[in-house]
Copies of this chain bind each other. A is one copy, B any other.
Amino acid sequence: MLEELKQEVYEANMQLPQLDLVTFTWGNVSGIDRQQGLFVIKPSGVAYADLKPSDLVVVNLKGEVVEGDLNPSSDTPTHTVLYNAFPNIGGIVHTHSPWAVSFAAAGLDIPALNTTHADTFYTAVPAARALTQAEIEADYEGNTGKAIVEAFEQRHLDYEATPAALVSQHGPFSWGKDAGQAVYNAKVLEVVAEEDYHSLQLTRANIELPQYLLDKHYYRKHGQDAYYGQNNAQSQTHAQHEK
């Protein structure tokens, strides 16, 4: 069932340790088949060294396991909320990458301070609000997803143009048109968080990028008039992210 998608999501999961985005196995990737309304996700508590494509668990958009002998990631309800709320995404990644966690623990957005950011994220990456005690006790992982969606609604953000969020006190989620692009976005987020941390320590000046520079860099790579890479006017792919 969904063998091709399992292979793709398996490979995306295995990129996390290669890109230094996980300690131990603190991360998970999922990918969705929109036509069948089913996504596949890493099982909970399986080490990357032991993971096989056949270990991946198939889940429907109600968050119910459809196939698989193992428990799905404990973050499955968060993935379910995001797939339902963001209909154009094909893959989701959660990590505890340390620079993004440092901003999340501080409850701060990752601001748009340089063009590395603007190439992938059209705005600051929002830190969703902390959950209340009632939300945590009632449905922790589901409400985590709802807080992300709420942040995008309240700030009128486009989830395709800003394909990541921080969960306050916790860490980053990112997404993309498929699992591989979601992993790519997770890495960009971590790199930008590290750079921003140091920029913010170097100066107290307002160094947020002006809108016209965000426009330039973002649309140089995305949409009709993109001229970056070898396949302009197409959606960007992983390999095209050179500058």
A-side residues, CB < 8 A to B, are: 23-28, 42-47, 50, 70-71, 73-75, 94, 96, 98-99, 101-108, 113-116, 130-131, 133, 136-137, 140, 169-171, 184, 187-188, 191, 194-203, 205, 207, 209-210, 212-213, 216, 220, 227-232, 239-243
Contact = CB atoms under 8 A, between A and B. Distances in A.
24 contacts: A24-B184, A25-B242, A27-B242, A28-B242, A28-B243, A42-B242, A44-B229, A44-B230, A45-B229, A47-B239, A94-B243, A98-B191, A99-B198, A101-B116, A102-B202, A104-B114, A105-B113, A105-B195, A105-B196, A106-B202, A106-B203, A106-B205, A113-B169, A114-B169
A207 B105 contact: yes
Q: Top 4 nearest A-B pairs by Cβ distance? A: A45-B229, A25-B242, A102-B198, A45-B240
A216 B136 contact: yes
A119 to B, nearest CB: 8
B24 A230 contact: no
A205 B106 CA distance: 8
Given A133-B212, A136-B212, A45 B195 contact: no
B201 A201 contact: yes
Nearest to A98: B195
A73 B240 CA distance: 11
A239 B50 contact: yes
A65 B209 CA distance: 32
Contacts of A201: 197, 201
A93 to B, nearest CB: 12
